[in-house]
Structure 1
């Protein structure tokens, strides 16, 4: 018997009869290194809780989750996230999350971004991008990720992103690789030029804050990034804000865009995503 049983409603009925089987596309990252100012790099990945908490919540609410990455391989989990600390110190929740990522088909039947585009995006009810530093390396400059985001924007379908994940929305630019290169070069004027016509200009959003990034640079990355995530979004035209307190949960919803600020926002962004999809949130 599966260790991920059907969730039961309060009346004792399994959710099997209630399941919509609508699909939510998860855009995962394949990046394992990020550039540091002055040379060198830091080992990074996708955050465990930011991936599995929303995925498990969506599945519990009756949605199917389809994971796709640029090269079709499973995302690397950032070692800094592989701890019970990101699950409120709950060892049982942490183990369940690790088992889910290791064993559940939704986390292992990985597609390429190209293949989901080729098969057709209309079958998906929404799209979600987990965080960790990894999306700031590949997804934010990936043209296929950009095509996917433009599709969900045009269809006004829920588009959820968490922590560093929101920076992936710059992939919807006409030339996201040039935009990212301008950020690394510190050429704000050039970046602003490549940001013209961005579909998310004027949207309210949040992302891992500059002050939170300073803490991550000191304690996790052991070096300085070339750009922080709020700057990357503001230069493109986003109206970025953060919670008054670092690492406090914060979610902003503006039209179809649902953004969560940091790892502590995992449950809140999952709840907002499910509500936007029209489902009922069930604690995973």
Structure 2
């Protein structure tokens, strides 16, 4: 018998705008999606994948490699097979359908990274409604790498906030963020120095804003590791955030621990 359902909110983005008006390929990271999903299932939880338009997320090619599984070729192939064949990764709902079916049926929500959430989930109205539900109910809310940027969607003026960031107007962004549910929360996210590696070697261009700058402008108390790409998970109340791809196993463990704690109440 399932111990409960966890909603995995994925992205449908395939490209991200970079400075100069160009676009770079992006998507959702394979390991950040399947490592926590597989861990949740192994721990007795059911996972349900949902995206803005109800189609399966696009996997960022940069993540489709054994290096993101600690160099474990067998682990990488197991993850690929799970992503390709497991019903939980293929019976995809829209975020709206998840809401209609009743968010009270879910014990937690998890948002994986890759840069996709910066493109769509950050300003998605359904994502915002989902996060507000989990915040108000104090149910575990876990977000990994770029995933934490999705918490911006809980703002009444998420689109205006994002536009102000793109325009480089931090003061205006802070104005739009007033009343944000997660103001004052401790959190982490993919760092500026880690992003520079992606900008230099994958995108070959700069993003319009970095994630720490964005969440700090919103009112978050954002921290990062002193060494890039070291695992890092920050927990504050119901919010569980992981910094980077190597935080996949630690955030899965933290989420399962939070869920199991609620089982024994």
* Normalised TM-score (structure 2): 0.98
In the alignment, what sits opposite 2:227? 245
In the alignment, what sits opposite 1:35? 17
1:162 aligns with 2:144: yes
Q: State the distance in 2 between where 1:198 and 1:278 align.
A: 28
In the alignment, what sits opposite 2:180? 198
CA apart distance, 1:279: 6.5
In the alignment, what sits opposite 2:41? 59
- Listed one character per residue, the Cα deviations across residues 15-60 of structure 1 (whole Å, up to 9, x for unaligned) are xxxx434000000000011011111010000000000000000000
Q: State the distance in 2 between where 1:232 and 1:101 align.
A: 31
Structure 2 counterpart SS, 1:278:
helix
- Listed one character per residue, the Cα deviations across residues 239-283 of structure 1 (whole Å, up to 9, x for unaligned) are 000011000000000000000000000000000000000169xxx
In the alignment, what sits opposite 2:60? 78
In the alignment, what sits opposite 1:229? 211
Q: State the distance in 2 between where 1:82 and 1:231 align.
A: 28
CA apart distance, 1:206: 0.2
Correspondent of 1:137 among 119, 142, 161: 119
* Normalised TM-score (structure 1): 0.91
Larger Rg: 1
> Which has the larger helix fraction?
2
Correspondent of 1:69 among 51, 56, 69: 51
Correspondent of 2:243 among 261, 269, 274: 261
CA apart distance, 1:73: 0.2
In the alignment, what sits opposite 2:168? 186
In the alignment, what sits opposite 1:104? 86
In the alignment, what sits opposite 1:9? none
In the alignment, what sits opposite 2:130? 148
Is the CA contact (8 Å cut-off) linking 1:36 and 1:226 kept in structure 2? yes
Structure 1 counterpart SS, 2:12:
coil
Structure 1: 5+ residue runs without aligned partners? 1-18
In the alignment, what sits opposite 2:76? 94
CA apart distance, 1:229: 0.4
Q: State the distance in 2 between where 1:35 and 1:250 align.
A: 27
Q: State the distance in 1 between where 2:36 and 2:208 align.
A: 29
CA apart distance, 1:166: 0.4
Q: State the distance in 2 between where 1:101 and 1:267 align.
A: 17
CA apart distance, 1:177: 0.9
Q: State the distance in 2 between where 1:45 and 1:188 align.
A: 26
Q: State the distance in 2 between where 1:279 and 1:131 align.
A: 25
Q: Across the two proteins, how many residue pairs are aligned to each other?
A: 262
